[in-house]
Structure 1
Amino acid sequence: MGKELFIAEKPSVAKEFAKTLGVNGNAGNGYLESSDYVVTWCVGHLVTMSYPEVYDPALKKWSLNTIPFMPEKFLYELIPDVKKQFNIVKGLLNRPDVERIYVCTDSGREGEYIYRLVDQMAEVSDTKEKRRVWIDSQTEEEIRRGIKEAKPLSEYDNLAASAYLRAKEDYLMGINFSRVLSLKYSQTIMNYRKGAKYAAIAVGRVMTCVLGMVVRREREIRGFVKTPFYRVMGHFSYEGKEFDGEWRSVEGSAYFQSPKLYKENGFKEKPEAQVLCQTLGFPAENPENCFHPEDGEETHKAVVEKVERKKEKKNPPLLFNLAELQNVCSKLFKISPDETLKIVQELYEKKLVTYPRTDARVLSTAVSKEIHKNIGGLRNYPVVREIAEKILAGSSYRKIASTRYCDDKKITDHYAIIPTGQGFGALRSTSLTAQRVYEVIVRRFLCIFYPPAEYQKISLTAVREQERFFSGIRIMLQQGYLEIADASFSNKKKTTAKESGDQNADNVSEEEKDTFDEELIALMKQIKKGTEIDLNSLEIKEGETSPPKRYNSGSLILAMENAGQLIEDEELRSQIKGSGIGTSATRAEILSKLVAKKYLKLNKKTQIITPEFLGEMVYDVVDSSIRSLLNPELTASWEKGLTYMAEGTITEDEYMAKLENYIAKWVNGVKGLNNQGYLRKKFDEAAVYYKK
């Protein structure tokens, strides 16, 4: 009987397969072998696409006459540094005694591409049986399941085709657009930056779009003009208890839809706010902008027009995908998306968490049926032992498949990142930051088995002289999942919903803060429509509009995931249709590349991202020549096309025809441009922000 060959993407993964299969030996030969099995590995990519000069030596010299370059047949070659391992793998794949090949590269588009290129270059016979192992973690149990349920490799042909197309697309756009822009504008940039060395203008389908997002945001901030506004706050009391209310110009107000307003709750000019105070019987102003009744009067009255009491629930957040985890780690630990990916990849390889390069934030139906094993394993993790035991003692985990945390339709390659419940011995060998990232993943996972946080919200509308003030308090009735949401290393004091991690708390207006004042709560419950309350004073509070926030490394990853939209609210994010810019596997790398090329600057302490001068210059070059490269929606549509290809909705020929037409149109358009003078003016505008 012939042997079975298992080929992994990396040596570390191959060793896990070998351990599971009982294969021992010396890995120094580039493979491990037993009487039944052979286990080998790639070292990432072994094969790459050939440069244009391989097609024709004349193409080595960049020239406008030789672009657009679009070969009919693409050529591939071995990566020099890893030729030795390729030859080992090639020999094993073609060994006569190897009858079945298990493809165990990473379960995703890139992993598929890595193997298919090796298979192509090694010219592996189609007579050999090839099966695809698709796993979500590196635990022994999951590896055995993946091998047992391995499907014929041919079932992944569409995924492989989309991987080839993605590579061709990046290759053709990179070579053609980088060459045409460099030939037209590199000299202009070099001349402007006196003394600068010649550098090609590097552009790409994804990285140029991300550059555009950051530059546009920076220019919005520069062009922002602060607008002052003036709000009027009422200080009320009832039976000795004080509370505040905010004036708003709603229907019935003398100021309803007035041009004097900045939105409905503030004035553009302070004197207008003062007039309102006088109209309501508060003419005297003190230095603190506080208005009190006239001499001889202790207070004024307002009448309660409306009281609303309702309960609110805040559900536990969805599970982590890579983008969400990178965003959270950027905020908590001030680490870059690239660092987060390295940490979670290490946790994955140590069997602590499931596959990290995922876009899904939910579980699959299949894994939900076995989820008690993950929870049970966490009883061996002292930080959450009691929490895991409490969950297992209840029944919530049995019903998880019927909740929003489980949805097969929202999963493409892998479900969300969750703890496996294994590998705790290896956790001690990781860095402190890695241990904390692990705890964050664990707590997010366990939260979904806890009930929602519950609040009692009381909203009150009071009227004086047809002008209305609005008050509100939120009372936490049950902490629910917030009881376990904060990490053990957090310094937060659990006194209010805002402080205990409630993601909605930032959206609570100033007059609607969470409170634990039991007397005030009891009093607010007594107040009814028609109740007279005391309006003791009015206060004018000055504010000003804020400029847009700069991206940090985490929020930029989120914006990439959502096709250029920075959507913090997870409910809205889940409704966004279509693919984002780049993929979970590539976004961190793209950001790192932009920083390395000095197009963007990343502050390591704050993780704030700003443009470099060279980046702004490249932005202006692209904006005046191939503007569509800066369009997030268009960039996302290319990614969506690759998804359609993987699903078999469109053909490779259709995709390539669209791609080649797009490239030819823009390259030929740039050739005819003569806009260097315009660009120098744009460079002048940006330069003032970079003078030392």
Structure 2
Amino acid sequence: MGKALFVMEKPSVAMDYYNILKIEGRRQDGYIEGDKAIFTWCVGHMVTMSYPEKYDEKLKFWNLEQLPFLPKEYLYEVIPSVSKQFEIVKGLLNREDVDKVYVCTDSGREGEYIYRLVDHMAGNPKKEKFRVWIDSQTEEEIKRGIKEAKPLEYYDSLGSSAYLRAKEDYLLGINFSRLLTLIYARNLGTVLKEDRVVIAVGRVMTCVLAMVVDKEREIREFVKTPFFKVNSNFLLNDAELNLEWKVYEGSTYFNSPFLYNETGFKERKTAEELINRLNSFEEGEIVEVKKTKETKNPPLLFNLAELQNECTKKFKISPDETLGIAQKLYEKKMLTYPRTDARVLSKAVAKDIGKNLSALYKNHPETWCKEYLKKISENKWSQNLVKSKYVDDSKITDHYAIIPTGEYNASGLTSLEQEVYELVIRRFLSIFFPPAKYNKTNLTVEVDRERFNFTKKILVEKGYLEILGKESQEEKELDITQLKKGKKLPLKDLNIKEGETTPPKRYTTGSIIIAMENAGKLIEDDELREQIKGSGIGTSATRAEIIKKLIRIEYLTSNNKTQILTPTKKGEMIYEVIKASIPSLLNPTLTASWEKGLGMVYSKEIAADEFMEKLEKYTENNISKVIQYRNNILYKINTNLLRVKKCYENN
């Protein structure tokens, strides 16, 4: 009987498997070998796609006549810096005494791609190959993953989508970067006063650049508009009630052109006229008193995008830093797999959630955590989790939401890493708590056919807010027992409150992740975001790296303190070149549709060949169009580049 070979992404993970399976063995150079099994590792990506010159030496020199570059067969090569470890893995895959291979790279498209490239470059050795698919690095989950490992071919469609994603990025990057650089880089260089300018184009990268530039232009072109509101103070015993004027059908100003909106006027003069008219009245009459109750449920669990956005807001760190921390916590077995788009749990996990809660109570040292867990247990709040909105198999593709496993290993963790871990625990535990409850009071007072409104919302039961630490301040509830319809209230005074419209907010490195997840829409409301969620731009595994690259190549800048993103002059000029030549690259909806297509390949809704055919046709058509209309496009670009230059000079 031959040996089983386990292939991981990192040596630390290989050691975990080795220790869990309790196999006697010795550490060798690049692997651990025992009587029954061998454990080895990749070191991240070990194989990459070859540059065009590997196909033909002439392609080393950029030339329009050589475009489009569409290989019939794609070439790959081992990354020189990791060639030694690759040769070790290759040798083990081809050993005669190895008859089974367990693929234990990260359970996702990227992890699948890492192994399949190695397997391809090793000659696709004829062995029994199994895929270990796990959601955390705990002993129980690893054992389950090995026991339930499916044949590798079960994941062939995932492998196909991984290859296609790489080919798509490669084709669009190589072809369009060369095309636009050859035609327009000289003009761009002249305006930027740079000798060598390369116009870097990327399927997702270019679209993200456009989102930031478009937002900056919205802000730049924004004109503040003043507005004027009329407020009133009515007396209730010793208290003052501040009410705001609001137009309604019976008002003198109903459908008036002087209105800015339903609560304000365009000009101070109109507000003054209203006050002058009402100043002759000493009291107002209550025409409506309404008291309602509101409930607010805990937010959905974290996926990677939500965690990145929250960490940017709370700790002012980049999405890349958040991913690094989440990955470390995953490898320390404290969190489940971080590169997930799901914000819910599967039914299978929900039915067994008691194990996570018990382990957390046993292992977590902090008193606050144990107290919340005790509350959940005493009130039996975890019993109906399966029937809640936090469990939905239809909203899970590869992995469920990020939650704590229950294991705890704080050694080597920084204070920031501890804080991120606590953030995930609090979000997880909050879903078991009851909703927050509010009492809401609406009061309407009328003076000479004009109405003033008052709304007060009081938190009466904290519910889950107790654990998330939001809105927990105590407020005195308004006593409305004396407020009845028809009652008169003395009018103390009227005043004008002046305001002005504010420009849109710039993206942060965190909020743009949310916008990318929602195909270019920055939706602030948590529940609405989940309802309309569709195919996003990029994936949870790649978004942080894309933002990082745009900053590295100086198309965007990020403020280290605030994490606010702004375009550079160069980035905005690159945007102009692409907008005039291949504008579809800037369209979030189109970019998201490519990502959706990759998902359809994975789910076997379309064939890989069909996707590839559309990709090649898109590449060919755009190259042909740009070359044909290059002079017209050039004139437009030159005009716009000068406009951008002037804008930056003036600022």
TM-score range for the pair, normalised by the shorter chain length = over 0.9
Counterpart residue type for residue 581 of structure 1: I
Cα distance in 1 for partners of 2:565, 2:300 equals 27
Deviation per CA, 1:12-55: give whole Å up to 9, x if none.
21121111112455545111111111111111111111111111
Instruction: Give the % identical residues.
Output: 56
Aligned to 1:505: none
Counterpart residue type for residue 564 of structure 1: G
Contact 2:172 2:202 survives alignment (8 Å): yes
Q: Within the alignment, does 1:373 sit opposite 2:372 as a pair?
A: no
Question: Mapping of 1:461-472 within 5 angstroms?
Answer: 461-472=444-455
Q: Within the alignment, does 1:397 sit opposite 2:397 as a pair?
A: no
Aligned to 1:131: 130
Question: Mapping of 1:559-574 within 5 angstroms?
Answer: 559-574=515-530
Contact 1:23 1:32 survives alignment (8 Å): no
Aligned-pair CA distance for 1:648: 0.2
Cα distance in 2 for partners of 1:493, 1:668 equals 58
Larger displacement relative to structure 2 (64-73 or 526-535): 526-535
Deviation per CA, 1:368-399: give whole Å up to 9, x if none.
12211211222232141211122122211121
Q: 1:96 to 1:65 in 2, by over 3 A?
A: same
SS of the equivalent of 2:162 reads helix
Aligned-pair CA distance for 1:534: 2.1
Cα distance in 2 for partners of 1:98, 1:495 equals 64
SS of the equivalent of 1:624 reads helix
| Alignment counterpart, residue 411 of structure 1, candidates 396, 399, 408 | 396
SS of the equivalent of 1:176 reads helix
Report the TM-score, using the length of structure 1 for normalisation. Answer: 0.91
SS of the equivalent of 2:228 reads strand
Aligned to 2:93: 93
Counterpart residue type for residue 686 of structure 1: V
| Alignment counterpart, residue 302 of structure 1, candidates 284, 287, 310 | 284
Contact 2:284 2:490 survives alignment (8 Å): yes
Q: Within the alignment, does 1:483 sit opposite 2:466 as a pair?
A: yes
Question: What is the number of residues matched between the two proteins?
Answer: 645
Aligned-pair CA distance for 1:223: 0.5
Cα distance in 1 for partners of 2:545, 2:345 equals 26
Q: 1:27 to 1:540 in 2, by over 3 A?
A: farther
Counterpart residue type for residue 224 of structure 1: F
Aligned to 2:417: 434
Aligned to 1:495: 473
Aligned-pair CA distance for 1:197: 3.3
Question: Mapping of 1:182-581 within 5 angstroms?
Answer: 182-194=181-193, 196-280=194-278, 282=279, 300-379=282-361, 380-381=363-364, 382=366, 383-424=368-409, 427-486=410-469, 494-495=472-473, 516-518=475-477, 521-522=478-479, 524-581=480-537
Aligned-pair CA distance for 1:493: 8.5
Deviation per CA, 1:578-614: give whole Å up to 9, x if none.
2100000000000000000000000101101001111
Aligned to 2:572: 616
Cα distance in 2 for partners of 1:106, 1:373 equals 23
Cα distance in 2 for partners of 1:577, 1:322 equals 15
Cα distance in 2 for partners of 1:320, 1:525 equals 43
Aligned-pair CA distance for 1:428: 3.8
Aligned to 2:6: 6
Counterpart residue type for residue 170 of structure 1: D
SS of the equivalent of 2:382 reads helix
Aligned to 1:286: none
Contact 1:376 1:392 survives alignment (8 Å): no
Cα distance in 2 for partners of 1:621, 1:368 equals 51
Aligned-pair CA distance for 1:215: 0.4
Contact 1:62 1:183 survives alignment (8 Å): yes
Cα distance in 1 for partners of 2:357, 2:491 equals 54
Cα distance in 1 for partners of 2:647, 2:373 equals 54
Contact 2:191 2:642 survives alignment (8 Å): no
Deviation per CA, 1:415-444: give whole Å up to 9, x if none.
1111111033xx242111111111111101
Counterpart residue type for residue 517 of structure 1: K
Cα distance in 2 for partners of 1:27, 1:686 equals 60
Aligned to 1:289: none
Cα distance in 1 for partners of 2:408, 2:461 equals 34
Aligned to 2:155: 156
Aligned to 1:75: 75
Q: Within the alignment, does 1:50 sit opposite 2:50 as a pair?
A: yes
SS of the equivalent of 1:396 reads coil
Deviation per CA, 1:497-553: give whole Å up to 9, x if none.
xxxxxxxxxxxxxxxxxxx234xx22x244222222222211100000000111111
Contact 1:372 1:392 survives alignment (8 Å): no
Cα distance in 1 for partners of 2:439, 2:379 equals 26
Aligned to 2:178: 179
* Deviation >6 Å, runs of 4+: none
Aligned-pair CA distance for 1:681: 2.5
Q: 1:525 to 1:9 in 2, by over 3 A?
A: farther
SS of the equivalent of 2:499 reads strand
SS of the equivalent of 2:581 reads coil
Counterpart residue type for residue 540 of structure 2: S
